[in-house]
């Protein structure tokens, strides 16, 4: 079969072009730039776009939110009878002289008045003060009034004030006026020898009893209720009857 000169020339030209194209090398550097080298010069091309499948793109768009922090179980149980909150507040403590005790009694006429004398270094005194505070909180609406007198020397009044503020007592606190401690005690009651010492007055202002010792909280409550209700003094609740003097 005879091949035409025109067809032969076409085949030759196509072969040359094919060889020329294969001799050019396509490379891509670390920055994504593409170059073609044909042995004589290098041409830069636009960087290739990263190949990302549609599945990968959708996964990034619809990725779930990070999980919430693990929940911590909270204790939602409450104390059915919480203790009264003791807030630190500024208090003003007034001084009192023995002869002013009668004024204090008259000012509280119509209430059962308990006057408790205490010292800041007296362990039993400090221990029973919270009992007396709770006692007034519970029975104040029934007519009970608790008043305390601190018997420390004047140099310790600032320390006493800080102690009272820290504990947030609800009852009135007085300071023994400067002077003889012995005369102060004797003026209040000749039997008053040491702290704690408590005087109890009925609603008419009459002295009902004196107690020369600290008492447990439950005993104080029985004593207060008996006086409030004009009942017999509960001597059977007193561990040492010698500390009680009835009038």
Strand order in the sheet with 94-96: 94-96, 172-176, 144-150, 112-118, 197-201, 207-211, 244-246
CB atoms within 10 A of CB 176: 23
**What's the pTM value of the predicted model, to 2 decimals?**
0.65
Domain that residue 215 falls in: 94-246
pLDDT for 245 equals: 97
Question: Closest Cα to residue 219, out of 96, 128, 149, 143?
Answer: 128
Residue 181 lies in a domain: yes
Residue 175 lies in a domain: yes
Residue 183 lies in a domain: yes
Residue 162 lies in a domain: yes
pLDDT for 8 equals: 57
Give the domain CATH number at 167.
3.40.30.10
Residue 85 lies in a domain: no
Residue 131 lies in a domain: yes
Cα–Cα distance measured from residue 167 to residue 150, given in angstroms and rounded to the nearest whole number: 15
Are the C-beta atoms of residues 160 and 122 closer than 8 Å to each other? no
pLDDT for 90 equals: 76
pLDDT for 92 equals: 84
Segment-wise mean pLDDT, segments of 10 residues, the chain, 247 residues: 56 56 52 50 46 48 49 38 54 91 94 98 96 96 97 95 95 95 94 96 97 96 96 95 96
Tell me what percent of the chain is helix, strand and coil, each rounded to the nearest 5. 40, 20, 40
Q: Are strands 25-28 and 244-246 parallel, antiparallel or unpaired?
A: unpaired
Residue 20 lies in a domain: no
Domain count, the chain: 1
Q: Enumerate the H helices of the chain as residue ranges.
A: 5-23, 54-61, 101-107, 123-139, 157-167, 181-188, 217-228
Residue 137 lies in a domain: yes
């Amino acid at each position: 079969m005879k091949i035409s000169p025109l067809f032969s020339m076409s085949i030759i030209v196509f072969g040359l072009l094919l060889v020329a194209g294969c001799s050019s090398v396509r490379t891509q550097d670390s920055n994504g730039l593409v170059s073609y080298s044909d042995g004589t010069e290098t041409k830069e091309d636009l960087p290739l776009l990263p190949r990302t499948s549609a599945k990968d793109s959708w996964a990034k768009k619809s990725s779930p939110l990070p999980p919430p922090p693990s929940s911590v179980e909270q204790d939602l149980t409450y104390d059915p009878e919480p203790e009264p909150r003791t807030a630190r507040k500024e208090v003003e403590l007034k001084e009192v002289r023995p002869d002013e005790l009668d004024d204090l009694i008259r000012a509280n006429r119509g209430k059962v008045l308990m006057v408790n004398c205490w010292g800041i270094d007296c362990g039993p005194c400090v221990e029973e003060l919270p009992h007396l505070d709770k006692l007034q909180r519970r029975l104040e609406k029934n007519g009970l009034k608790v008043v305390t007198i601190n018997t420390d020397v004047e140099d310790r009044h600032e320390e006493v004030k800080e102690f009272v503020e820290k504990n947030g007592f609800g009852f009135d606190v007085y300071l023994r006026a400067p002077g003889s401690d012995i005369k102060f005690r004797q003026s209040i009651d000749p039997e008053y020898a040491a702290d704690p010492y408590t005087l109890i007055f009925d609603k008419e202002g009459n002295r009902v009893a004196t107690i020369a010792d600290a008492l447990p909280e439950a005993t104080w409550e029985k004593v207060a209720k008996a006086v409030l209700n004009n009942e017999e003094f509960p001597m059977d609740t007193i561990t040492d009857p010698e500390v009680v003097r009835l009038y």
